[in-house]
Structure 1
Amino acid sequence: MKTERPYVLTLAGFDPSAGAGLLADIKTFEQLHCYGLAVQTANTIQTDDTFTACHWIAKDIIIEQLSIVLKRFPVAYIKVGIVESWSVLEELIGVMKTIKPEAKIVFDPIFSASANFDFHSEASIQTEKLALENVLSHCYLITPNYNELQIMANGIATEDFLKMLSTTTNVLVKGGHKKIEKGIDQLYTTIGTVYEIKGIPELLSAKHGTGCILSAALIAELAKGKSLLEASKKAKNYVEQRMGSNTTLLAYHTSYENKNRLKYI
């Protein structure tokens, strides 16, 4: 199937406020001139500032949707957000790799919502350690924030864990939750190179779903042929434009960059 735009796929939760999850991903894909496909992994009860429940979609339904979409469309990049468990994610990745072995998976691990709702306990890292390790070995890139990285490290020193992790997969550590050098992302590549990606946090307004938006923007840029470093920089720029779009918790995904507005936030 030929198209002027690359196809990209997200596996994510449904957020009724449309600030995060698959709706935010689809908005991002559209603005960055990709055709977005989506498979729903969870139905959440939330707004931009409140989260009360997460209802997981049955694994068999996810697999049915995933299979028919991957068989139909030439998807080169797949983003994965919230999934019920590491073992379920392991099985889903098995389906992806069977149908589209060449597709690159970008995993955005989500342990909690910004409204203080926990999806996975730290204990799940221990109980499903082998499943998680297998998941990571099949990912082209993972995009944890600093808090999520520490949870995944499970007691291992952060820098040691990053060195170990980046022997298997590229890692983009989002810097929004760091106490020191807040807002500076770090890209650890499998070839051993580390890059710092700086932003303009003093000009921005906090937004719901920025982690989802960044990883969606990143795979859109990768699908258009950008290098991993260039895609990471462009994704950060896209997120910051969304954070500067207004002063509410919900981002506007406009088709232009309103740079003048940033001055007043």
Structure 2
Amino acid sequence: MPEPRPYALSIAGFDPSGGAGLLADCKTLESNAVYGLGVCTALTVQNDVAFERVQWVSAADILDQARLLFARFTIEYVKIGLIESLTQLPELLAWLQAQNPRVCIIWDPVLKASAGYEFHNSLPLALVEALCKPLALLTPNRPEMLRLWPAVTPEAAAREVSAFCPVLLKDGHADGASATDILFLNGEEHAFTAPRLPHGEKHGSGCVLSAAVLAHLAKGESLEDACRAGKAYTATVLASNPTLLGYHSAFSTHHAYQ
């Protein structure tokens, strides 16, 4: 008999292309030997290159979806992606902690669709601080980091926000021969580098990375090791084919980049 898998919950939007959001998260969790549960926050009309519109799921329906899952399963690991109201996000975070005081929450802030649609503009810094304090990890890309916390550089912003929670600053939107993600944790910085592939751009790569980190946390790894393994898994998806939609497959942490 196979070993029981831990459960992890994705609270995210539904992308019909399967490249991002809820479907991508559950694919990633499954490929990393974690059972993925899902709560839908939005129904989007999009593919990998075009975004037309979004229909938001109400806060009450989001909680109703999650309530039955928490009643049935032991959920200690949660990822939050696209959500309509960031001013109401603290209420969701508090609700999750009320269901399980030990819950480990990753927030992957989706502020703008890769096809250009704007979900959220600038946020009050006090709200960003309130959102970050309950988190186990914040996973913005470089443009998102500066929108969340204006500073001279994304690194400076991440360094400041890491006073509230650990930050994994994703480097997928930069240039250069390699892509280096940086984990800001307890005053230290840990870099994870992989080659930047010539056809490695993928729709939803940030979703994949944060979900992969969540999977490895659910399997008991440290945050640093989970980020390293998440980076390595994402690299396999980026290298899987030359299109904008990556392929997922079973993954071993032995391939992790140092």
How much has 1:202 moved relative to structure 2? 3.2
Say whether 1:41 aligns with 2:41. Answer: yes
Question: AA paired with 2:201?
Answer: A
Instruction: Determine the structure 2 residue equivalent to 1:241.
Output: 236
Aligned match for 2:127, one of 131, 149, 158: 131
Instruction: Determine the structure 1 residue equivalent to 2:224.
Output: 229
Instruction: Determine the structure 1 residue equivalent to 2:168.
Output: 172
Runs of 4 or more, structure 1, over 6 Å off, are: none
Q: TM-score, structure 1 length as denominator? A: 0.89
The 8 Å contact of residues 204 and 240 in structure 1, kept in 2 or not, is answered as no
How much has 1:179 moved relative to structure 2? 4.2
Name the Cα RMSD after superposition.
Answer: 1.8
Q: Counterparts of 1:253 and 1:240 in 2: how far apart (Å)?
A: 11
Question: AA paired with 1:184?
Answer: T
Identity %: 38
Instruction: Determine the structure 1 residue equivalent to 2:196.
Output: 201
- Higher alpha-carbon deviation: 198-207 or 235-244: 198-207
Instruction: Determine the structure 2 residue equivalent to 1:262.
Output: none
Instruction: Determine the structure 1 residue equivalent to 2:11.
Output: 11
The 8 Å contact of residues 245 and 252 in structure 1, kept in 2 or not, is answered as yes
How much has 1:64 moved relative to structure 2? 1.1
Q: Counterparts of 1:256 and 1:174 in 2: how far apart (Å)?
A: 21
The 8 Å contact of residues 90 and 132 in structure 1, kept in 2 or not, is answered as no
Q: Counterparts of 1:91 and 1:247 in 2: how far apart (Å)?
A: 41
Q: Counterparts of 2:156 and 2:206 in 1: how far apart (Å)?
A: 24
Stretches of structure 1 that go unaligned for 5 or more consecutive residues are 258-265
Q: Counterparts of 1:57 and 1:135 in 2: how far apart (Å)?
A: 20
The 8 Å contact of residues 31 and 251 in structure 2, kept in 1 or not, is answered as no
Which of the pair is proportionally richer in helix? 1
Distance 1:204 1:179, change over 3 A: closer
Instruction: Determine the structure 2 residue equivalent to 1:70.
Output: 70
Aligned residues: 250
Q: TM-score, structure 2 length as denominator? A: 0.91
Q: Counterparts of 1:132 and 1:53 in 2: how far apart (Å)?
A: 26
